[in-house]
A = this chain, B = another copy of it.
Amino acid sequence: MRIALDAASGDLGPEVCVDGALRASAETGEEVVLVGPRAVLEGILAKRSLGAAKITVVDAPDVIGMNEHPAKAVRQKPQSSIVVACDMVARGEADAVFSPGNTGATMAAALLKIQRIKGVERPAIAIPMPTINGVSLLLDGGANAECRPHHLLQFALMGSIYYSSLTGVESPTVGLLNVGEEPEKGNDLTIQTHKLLAASGLNFIGNVEGRDIPFGKANVVVCDGFVGNVVLKFAEGIGRALFDMIKEEIGKSLLLKIGGALARPAFVSVKRRLDDSEYGGAPLLGVNGVTLIGHGRSNAKAVYNAIKAAVKTKRDGVTNQIALAVQNYAQLISEV
């Protein structure tokens, strides 16, 4: 198996990508293809010991910046690391791709090159969210700002399949993110989606509310990409704000500082439990090849975990499972 790694677009530079790739390749036994400016990548590799890792380099002289317009950049930079890496999957030269670069550009490149699975109308970004009760999968995390009910049904289906691969849970619970528990609550989208999910045969547990997410009430939480993106970024912000506040308050006296220092390992544990680099990347589900998207700030550990996730997703045949399931659900969807 070969995993194409966009090693040039992350905020932290190519070194962390190379380090993550070395570790992941050695551990999984699979080949990792570093995609980016050849001289730079070979320069970094020359200073590392390969060990058991199988690493190759594919040249991609261009880079798409974090603030470039996704669709435009993908069109104008066919030699960029993101586009070249996606192209490798499209041409069968790689089995999966991971990019810690511009999320929109990675999506655009994947849709353009790898394309959608037949029958999937809207690929969705599935965000692994740490909760007090294990990981939950929130989707769509931002690929589709406007959605229709059958899109959300497909998200639930694709999310359930990926969740099973990620965790081993056989029939993951699915919750519809809404503003109340009752089926008739919410907006047109959620009211219609509720009916579809109830008839889907998935392990649908009904509506979940915002407060249920951090407690992991459902394994898979579906919503449109607008709501999902707001929630995802809000979680990021509130985590940082809370730790900032605790730090500030602990700094206010010597005694508090001593207490804080003694209790520090507890905070480190909490941070580790909330650390999204444990999952490394969020899959773009519904495209016809394993595509994972990482945070711009992905460090070596996040890259390592993302490559491992890519390998596992490919080994478990998630893309094929989704293609089959979508076929089987075509009837249900066409009835809406």
Docked CA distance A186–B142 (Å): 9
Residue A214 CB within 8 A of the other chain: yes
Docked CA distance A269–B249 (Å): 7
Least CB distance from A273 to B in Å reads 6
Q: List 7 A-B contacts (CB under 8 A).
A: A210-B236, A214-B234, A226-B227, A231-B231, A235-B238, A238-B238, A255-B262
* Chain A 258-301 residues near chain B, CB threshold 8 A: 258-267, 269-270, 273-274
B249 touches A146 (CB 8 A): no
Residue A51 CB within 8 A of the other chain: no
Given A179-B142, A273-B245, answer yes or no on A263-B250 (Cβ-Cβ < 8 Å): yes
Provide the residues of chain B in CB contact with A232, threshold 8 Å: 210
Point out residues on A near B: beta carbons under 8 Å: 131-132, 142, 145-146, 177, 179, 186-188, 190, 209-215, 223, 225-227, 229-242, 244-246, 249-250, 252, 255-256, 258-267, 269-270, 273-274
Q: Is the interface of A mostly helix, strand, loop or mixed?
A: helix
Docked CA distance A239–B237 (Å): 12
Given A226-B227, A230-B179, A241-B131, answer yes or no on A188-B146 (Cβ-Cβ < 8 Å): yes
* Most chain B beta-carbon neighbours within 10 Å: one of A213, A230, A249: A230
A270 touches B255 (CB 8 A): no
Given A210-B232, A234-B235, A245-B132, answer yes or no on A259-B264 (Cβ-Cβ < 8 Å): yes
Given A146-B187, A226-B186, A266-B246, answer yes or no on A235-B210 (Cβ-Cβ < 8 Å): yes
Q: Kindly report which residue of chain B lies nearest to residue A262, judged by CB atoms.
A: B259
Of B212, B226, B244, the contact of A132 (CB 8 Å cutoff): B244
> Which 4 residue pairs across A and B have the least CB separation, nearest first?
A259-B262, A259-B263, A210-B233, A211-B237
B245 touches A270 (CB 8 A): yes
Provide the residues of chain B in CB contact with A223, threshold 8 Å: 230
Provide the residues of chain B in CB contact with A231, threshold 8 Å: 210, 230-231, 234
B209 touches A230 (CB 8 A): yes
A240 touches B214 (CB 8 A): yes
Q: Kindly report which residue of chain B lies nearest to residue A249, judged by CB atoms.
A: B266
Of B190, B242, B252, the contact of A242 (CB 8 Å cutoff): B242
A270 touches B258 (CB 8 A): no
Given A188-B146, A225-B179, answer yes or no on A267-B246 (Cβ-Cβ < 8 Å): yes
Provide the residues of chain B in CB contact with A252, threshold 8 Å: 266, 269
Least CB distance from A222 to B in Å reads 13
Of B211, B230, B261, the contact of A177 (CB 8 Å cutoff): B230
Of B145, B214, B255, B260, the contact of A186 (CB 8 Å cutoff): B145
Least CB distance from A16 to B in Å reads 22
Q: Kindly report which residue of chain B lies nearest to residue A272, judged by CB atoms.
A: B249
Provide the residues of chain B in CB contact with A264, threshold 8 Å: 259
Least CB distance from A276 to B in Å reads 13
B225 touches A246 (CB 8 A): no
Q: Kindly report which residue of chain B lies nearest to residue A255, judged by CB atoms.
A: B262
Q: Kindly report which residue of chain B lies nearest to residue A211, judged by CB atoms.
A: B237
B245 touches A256 (CB 8 A): no
19 further A-B pairs in the complex, CB-CB below 8 A; given A238-B238, A259-B263: A132-B244, A186-B226, A187-B226, A209-B229, A209-B230, A210-B231, A210-B234, A210-B235, A211-B234, A214-B240, A231-B231, A234-B234, A242-B242, A242-B270, A245-B274, A249-B267, A252-B266, A256-B265, A263-B263
